Every structure is written in C-alpha cells, then in structure tokens.
Structure 1
Amino acid sequence: MPTIPEVLFVCVHNAGRSQMAAALLDHHAAGAVTVRSAGSAPADSINPAVRQVMEEIGIDLSREIPTKLSADAVNAADVVITMGCGDACPIFPGKRYLDWELTDPAGRTPEQIRPIRDDIDARVRALLTELVPAAAT
C-alpha cells in the first residue's frame, strides 16, 4: 500500500496564506494527502477576511487555530512549502522545499484577498497533480 504524502505549509503568522493553502489542499486531495500548516510566530486567530473568502468557496476555517512551527512537523513532512517565513523554517536533508512568493493577506480586504486565494488554489491543484495524479480535481 503506497504511503500518503505529507505536506506542510509554513508562513509567519499561520493566519492567512498557509491556512488557505492547507484547507484547499485538504479539500482537493480528499484524504489522499496529509496536510498541516504552521507559523514561525503564530497569531492568536485566523484572519477574519481570510475566513470570509474561504467561506465563499465552501471551506470553513472557523475551527482552525494558528499553530507554532516545530522541527517535528518539518521532519514529518515530505514537502515543505514556505510562504515568507524566511530563515525561521528548519531545513532537513532529504526534504523537498518550495517557496511560494505570495502577498500577505494581513490588513487586506476580502476583495484584495480573493486573488491571493485563487493563486494559492491554482498552485495547490498543480502540486496535487504531482503528488497524487489520480486525485487531481
């Protein structure tokens, strides 16, 4: 039985970009990928405008809580995708690292966040086709 790939999305506050990416990959993968997200300096809660734009596409982030990045989480992941956490992300040999340059949704309106969400969605779908070709939607 093949192993399920694990992806870790990392940003600074784990309140916007990484939460959107994790939720979108989890949604599209439908169990074919283990998904986690974390932040190097996590916020207290998810950005309300991010929650709103995700609700618009049927994804509920109301129960998500920003999580502190740990070396264990990085070590467990097959793919680590950073989104502006810089040097705070530990590097382990043999891991696949991707850096997605994305605008930080902090302080932005839902109208400004929707294109960020859609960019993340396109990247997540492309990643999913690499990780689990049969699971792509």
Structure 2
Amino acid sequence: MIVRNLQDANKSQRRIVSDNWESTRLLLKNDNMGFSFHITTIYAGTETPIHYQNHLESVYCISGEGEVETCDDGKVYPIKPGTIYILDKHDKHLLRAKSDIQFACVFNPALNGKETHDADGVYPLEAEEVTA
C-alpha cells in the first residue's frame, strides 16, 4: 500500500512550480500503477497553452473558476467546482483561470515527476524522475 499526504508532498521534490501553475505529483511512474495523480493549481489571471501529445489526461475541478478552449474548433467550456474535462484525443487547448483553480489530474502514461511544458505546451514522454 502507498500512503502519502498532500501537505508533506508539497514540501518535497513532488511539488513542481511554473509561471502559470504548480503541481504536486502524488502518484508517479515509479509507483507502478500505470497512471499518475496530481493536485494542480492554475494561477488566477493566467492563460496556459497545453498540448499533451504524449499523454491522455482527465482533469477534475476541486475549486476555482475558469475556462478551457479547444484550439481545433474554438469551443469554450466553463470550469467550476465539479467540472471534469477529459483530453481523450490529445486535444490542444488553452486553459484560462479567472481565480486560482485547483484540479485533481490523472495522466496516462504516468509522469516521472519533473515534467514541465515545452514551448508547444507538451510534456515529454520521459523526464527526470522524482526520487522522494
């Protein structure tokens, strides 16, 4: 059994901070579950271009408000607590936060832990592992 605490993980290598967001990776590839699980905060007033070409992601809103826009068709979907959006087709999208938004995110395949978005909003398929 694996047991972790978010507050403890926030004080470890599992917390990754970027300009627009921070993400605490509670479950990673080296846990051998086949997916990773993260608690991610998108900062208020930001727009983040994302295109997970190497991963599928499910995103559940815990708190905050914003919107996600799919780049291929320009559709805009509001995000508020209780909303889930699922990137089942490697959808290129823009994530906009009206307030700080906290998400629970699941990635398949699992992340190694130190991934950040490249210039195109992509996470690499393989990245440096978090060891703690």
Q: TM-score, normalised by structure 1?
A: 0.31
The structure with more helix, counted as a fraction of residues: 1
Q: TM-score, normalised by structure 2?
A: 0.32
The structure with more strand, counted as a fraction of residues: 2
